[in-house]
Amino acid sequence: MSHPLIAILRGIDPDEAVAVAQALIDAGIDRIEVPLNSPSPMVSIQRMAEMAGDTAQIGAGTVLTTKDVAQVAEAGGSLIVSPNCDTAVIRETKARGMQSFPGVLTPTECFTALQAGADGLKVFPAFQMGIEGLKAVRAVLPVETQIFMVGGVGPDNFAEWRRAGASGFGLGSWLYKPGDDVAGIATRAAEAVAAWKAIDT
């Protein structure tokens, strides 16, 4: 993967999925999740995976059950992101050879997720943990732990979160809202990538 940025396409329609995914990949964001409370999410995931599954990581967000995990796998997805820490979901994800990023907020949830096999942690909502909270949690987690901040993050505060220990970011409504034109999405994606490069060089 080129940069630790995950595009969260909540509400995307299958008819626009491929064009939006291509714009994101062209801009340098090649981790894409379709939340399962979007219209026909498995169709969007399948279309994007068929188009770019060899070069990008396509998957689902708001994954709450092992049945959801199975359906995403069958659609060709390779990434499972959840708003919560469910060890059954994590284990099913890993059993299917997919990447697992469960949602966590407390140290207990962080360690529970890692012990279940999570590839990384999605801190959600990031603004609730805050900068100082992230510093405290980062101090006790294994140094190699991947921590993605989601909720209230954007290019204007990447650097501050990065200094506190963030490994990457999930970008939702800042990057994409239903009905946005592809050109605008591409512009914001490029802005996010440029902001990441500026602090990671």
* 33 part of the active site: yes
Of the chain, the end-to-end C-alpha distance in Å amounts to 17
Calpha distance 69→63 (Å, rounded): 7
Distances from the Cα of 173 to the Cα of 8, 65, 93, 184, angstroms: 8, 24, 26, 13
Catalytic residue among 33, 50, 94, 191: 33
Calpha distance 130→79 (Å, rounded): 26
Catalytic residue among 122, 135, 144, 191: 122
* 144 part of the active site: no
Q: Which two tokens stand for residue 172?
A: 């939702």
117 CB-near residues (< 8 Å, 6+ apart): 90, 91, 94, 100
Which are the catalytic amino acids? 33, 122
